[in-house]
Structure 1
Amino acid sequence: MSSYFWLRSFWVLMMFMHNVSQCQAGCAEVDSMTEAVAGQSSMLGCISCKRRAEVPGSAIVEWHFKPLGSGEDFVHIFSYQYPDSTIHHEDFEERLEWYGTKGTSDVQIGAVLIHNVTFNDTGTYRCSFLRTLYLPVKEEFVNITKEVELTVVSEANRELTAVISEIMMFVLIVVLQLWMIGVLIYCYKKVYAENEAREARKAMRAEHEHLESKDPCDGVHME
């Protein structure tokens, strides 16, 4: 299987873990891959976790690019503001696809997919999160910037691909097993609690019926 398949699977797993972790008030930041194969698609990963997951917020993600060996400044190539994405540079026209958080403006995964990678795509990519936190007193603005050094090669490193595939298989197996164990434990606790509550209600009902059926004159002796 191609390195892109495992790269895509890796980021699908990271997005799954991110979505699951939102229920647990957690988030895991992952470094982007730094090698792409000419003619194929490649993922530029960028994750920025909120420090306080319970605080609602929104984020705009901007991507800039500076070619290798270029003395020029970074050029603006892509932006995402829920629910719209915009390509700003003609060299990347119809080649960039949003692959980050979807369905909400509270973006924490800012990944983009580059289609039909060329050697001219070698260089430094800068990912910027322009985040707004909606605090009870006032809004707070936070800017986070990360850089990815991307190298484009003519063919995939077979050893690297094999390592990635083994790691992915191991991570997938472990995560799925832990998830299944967690679900089983949750279901067991839920069923046990419901049974306990049912038994308690039955006991209270039986005691109540017993008190109602008991003769109030029992134990009273007439002289």
Structure 2
Amino acid sequence: MSPDISSLWALCLILMLSGWCDASCAEVDSMTEAVVGKEFLLGCISCKKREEVSGAATVDWHFKPAGGNDSFHIFHYEYPRSTILHEDFNSRLEWRGTKGTEDLQIGAIANLNVTFDDVGTYTCTFERTLFLPLGDEHVTIKKTVELIVLAEEKPELTAVISEIMMYVTIVGLQLWLIAVLVYCYKKISAENEAREARKALREKNKLIDSKDTCDGVHLE
């Protein structure tokens, strides 16, 4: 599947999850292949173990470039405000996580214009506080995405299979046509041979009848 379509499906999933207040949460891994100049969704989902327990969370994203040793803090979200924290990502990151509540379970962000410099490791960190009757509980959850940036989209698997099947069909039709031509040729040849044989038999019978007629004539 291509990166744009994969991101679209992931986005649809995230929107559905964020829109269903009582729906069960499903932790889906992020896509890992982006295309330069396109939009890409960095997915990050952290489900609470108990839905009935209320809580609050913040989400932070860090980025470590490929081949680099240092990690940079690039994005922070705390309801209802998101903040881009690194100049390399100015105007390029957008919050696509849970909206309308501080009880976050989806921490996805969108890179609106991918560049080759975006290759590397992205770390999503949930800092969650669960409000329990006996006292608040603090939980930290981290998830990583190893991003690869492609110069152009890879052909979709379904498109490749369709193209292969098209060529197979064409070759199959050609072989079938050849087989039909060979069959027709053999059939016509056989009919011609049979016709010639019948013609030869008729000529032979005529000669025999003519000979019998001559043998029956008596000269006076």
> TM (normalized to structure 1)?
0.67
Q: 5+ residue gaps in structure 2? A: 161-220
Partner of 1:118: 115
- Pair 1:49–1:90, CA change in 2 (3 A): same
Superposed, which structure 2 residues align to 1:139-150 within 5 Å? 139-150=136-147
Letter in 1 for 2:15: M
Contact map agreement 2:18 2:98 (CA 8 A) in 1: no
Partner of 2:203: none
Letter in 2 for 1:23: D
CA deviation after TM superposition for structure 1 residue 49, in Å: 0.1
Partner of 2:4: 4
SS at structure 2 position matched to 1:64: strand
CA deviation after TM superposition for structure 1 residue 158, in Å: 1.1
Partner of 1:210: none
Q: How many residues align?
A: 160
Q: Distance in 2 between matches of 1:32 and 1:12?
A: 13
Partner of 1:190: none
Q: Structure 2 residue aligned with 1:136, among 129, 133, 138? A: 133
Superposed, which structure 2 residues align to 1:63-212 within 5 Å? 63-70=61-68, 72-159=69-156
Partner of 2:57: 59
- Pair 1:142–1:161, CA change in 2 (3 A): farther
User: Cα RMSD over matched residues?
Assistant: 2.0
SS at structure 1 position matched to 2:156: helix
CA deviation after TM superposition for structure 1 residue 50, in Å: 0.3
> TM (normalized to structure 2)?
0.68
- Pair 1:9–1:159, CA change in 2 (3 A): closer
Query: Identity over aligned residues, as a percent?
Result: 57
SS at structure 1 position matched to 2:60: strand
CA deviation after TM superposition for structure 1 residue 128, in Å: 0.1
CA deviation after TM superposition for structure 1 residue 159, in Å: 2.5
CA deviation after TM superposition for structure 1 residue 19, in Å: 3.6
Greater alpha carbon shift after TM alignment, 109-118 vs 151-160: 151-160
Alignment deviations for residues 179-221 of structure 1 (CA, whole Å, 9 cap, x no partner): xxxxxxxxxxxxxxxxxxxxxxxxxxxxxxxxxxxxxxxxxxx
Letter in 2 for 1:4: D
Contact map agreement 1:133 1:139 (CA 8 A) in 2: yes
Q: Distance in 2 between matches of 1:48 and 1:107?
A: 8
Partner of 2:15: 15
Contact map agreement 1:3 1:161 (CA 8 A) in 2: no
Q: Distance in 1 between matches of 2:116 and 2:145?
A: 16
- The structure with the larger Rg is 2
Q: 5+ residue gaps in structure 1? A: 164-223
Contact map agreement 1:18 1:27 (CA 8 A) in 2: no
Letter in 2 for 1:118: T
Partner of 1:182: none
CA deviation after TM superposition for structure 1 residue 15, in Å: 3.0
- Pair 1:161–1:107, CA change in 2 (3 A): farther
Q: Distance in 2 between matches of 1:55 and 1:123?
A: 35
Q: Distance in 2 between matches of 1:47 and 1:12?
A: 14
